[in-house]
Amino acid sequence: MKINKIKEMSSPELEKELGELKTELFKLKFTLATNGLDNPMKIKEVKKDIARINTVLTERKIAEKKGEI
């Protein structure tokens, strides 16, 4: 997921997407442990997406505290 798309989403949408990505990450790790994945790099991509969303949410919370938004 691109950062531009993430920044366009509202905070509740990001929270929902974050939950979905965490669930997907769990399933990918479980599949990797049990019978292997076709594309193990998918785990890395999902982790990066989670980090991007967390970064944007943190930026928004800091901006709200400063009163910029």
Residue 42 predicted with pLDDT over 70? yes
pTM, to two decimals: 0.88
Q: Find the angle CA(44)-CA(46)-CA(47) to the nearest 5 degrees.
A: 65
What confidence category does residue 67 fall into, taking pLDDT thresholds of 50, 70 and 90? confident
At 20 the pLDDT is: 97
**Mean of pLDDT over the chain:** 93
pLDDT at residue 68 in the model:
66
> Taking 90 as the threshold, does the pLDDT of residue 69 lie above it?
no
Phi then psi for residue 37, to 5 deg, are -115, 155
DSSP state of 36: -
- Say yes or no to pLDDT of 19 above 80: yes
What structural domains does the chain harbor?
3-66 (1.10.287.310)
Helix/strand/coil for 26: helix
Q: How many CB atoms lie within 10 A of CB 27?
A: 11
